Amino acid sequence: MKNIFKIFFSIWTITGIFLLTSSFSLSLNHAGDDKPWVVPESAKKLKNPVKATEDNVKAGKLLFSKHCKSCHGTGGKGDGSKSKELNTPCGDFTEKGFQSQTDGALFYKTKEGREDMPSFKKKITDEEELWTLVNYLRTFAPAGNKVEPDKQKTTVNEKKNTTENEVKKSTATEIQTTKEKVVIEKKDSAAMLMDSVSALEKSRIEGVLKLYEKALNASDTLAITALYTSNGIFIPPQAATAVGTDTIKASYKQLFKASKLNVTFSIEEIEISGNTAFIRAVSKGDHTLLENSQKVPEENKALILLKKINNDWKIYCYMFN
């Protein structure tokens, strides 16, 4: 186990990359600005194809922190560190006037921009990411200012997100059941209670791998990316190492353009040390080459390093052969 954690810290040192926080003004709501922002009717009617799942909202939060927070502030009130440098006010995302806009209008303004608000159609080229950002903007609405969301929230990703939600609910139920059973059986002994905590953590880690398996077989890039830490590492055997959210997402997208996977993971070992852990597992199944529909047997050994962040286990490094 010591050798494996030496590998862990070596990888951490070699691939240490500091994500630079870029700042820009997402001035979607110009409070006090006399010039209205005209949004085409066709844009207002656009429906958000990305469901506001917990993982997708987290992905939107990462984008907001990277691109928007410096002007709009952590709470979306337009009080970011750079807001005073702008010629136009950033607006308050918590106001009902802002939240009453359609998802399509927010998407259009984010993509096209105007004046101090830059256009992001070149900075964020993946429209799904822009839609996840819209989902996160909705979280700023106070309870009294909640606006009925677009009813048509499921189009492009309905099937894959439904599958993902079912897996999450099933995993959460299994984890809760395991926790209750372990605590009841071992609550009379302090030593046994420590064992129960370890068993619970292992159950939660198993749940992460189960979510990864489902997302991998569904070619669900967003769900996979949400399972990694923001500075995570993906090391495929015959491709470049991917470090950080954006490069990891691009790497999986490239994989899913070429193949459709159908694999099952079996865990050989789980070890936990504080807020770090590793899984040694085997994946078996097949993958189908999309260009010619050829089915190829698949069997790999995987080593997955995890970190516990805000009480959630996240994949820090995934490598396989």
> 212, 202, 209: which is closest to 270 by C-alpha?
202
So what's the pLDDT on residue 185?
A: 65
Do 92 and 78 meet the contact criterion of CB atoms below 8 Å apart? yes
Handedness of CA 91, 94, 99, 103 (dihedral sign): positive
> Predicted confidence band at 54 (pLDDT cuts at 50, 70, 90)?
very high
* Residue of 284 and 4 predicted with greater confidence: 284
So what's the pLDDT on residue 181?
A: 67
**Spatial separation of the C-alpha atoms in residues 164 and 158, rounded to whole Å:** 10
So what's the pLDDT on residue 190?
A: 55
Query: Across the chain, what does the average pLDDT equal?
Result: 81
Percent of the chain with pLDDT over 70: 74
Instruction: Please give the DSSP secondary-structure letter assigned to residue 114.
Output: B
**CATH number assigned to the domain covering 158-320:** 3.10.450.50
Helix or strand run (H / E) with residue 144? none
**Spatial separation of the C-alpha atoms in residues 163 and 264, rounded to whole Å:** 16
So what's the pLDDT on residue 22?
A: 35
So what's the pLDDT on residue 287?
A: 93
In the chain, where the domains are located: 24-145, 158-320
**Spatial separation of the C-alpha atoms in residues 254 and 252, rounded to whole Å:** 5
Q: In the predicted model, is pLDDT for residue 158 greater than 80?
A: no
Kindly report the pTM of this predicted structure. 0.44
Q: Is 158-320 in the same CATH topology as 24-145?
A: no
Please state the CATH superfamily assignment of the domain spanning residues 24-145 in this structure. Answer: Cytochrome c-like domain (1.10.760.10)
Q: Which two tokens stand for residue 211?
A: 């979510």
Which amino acid type is present at position 222? L
Q: Which two tokens stand for residue 96?
A: 């009902």
> Predicted confidence band at 24 (pLDDT cuts at 50, 70, 90)?
very low
Residue with tokens 């709009």: 72
Percent of the chain with pLDDT over 90: 49
* Residue of 8 and 258 predicted with greater confidence: 258
Residue with tokens 């105007």: 114
**Spatial separation of the C-alpha atoms in residues 39 and 57, rounded to whole Å:** 24
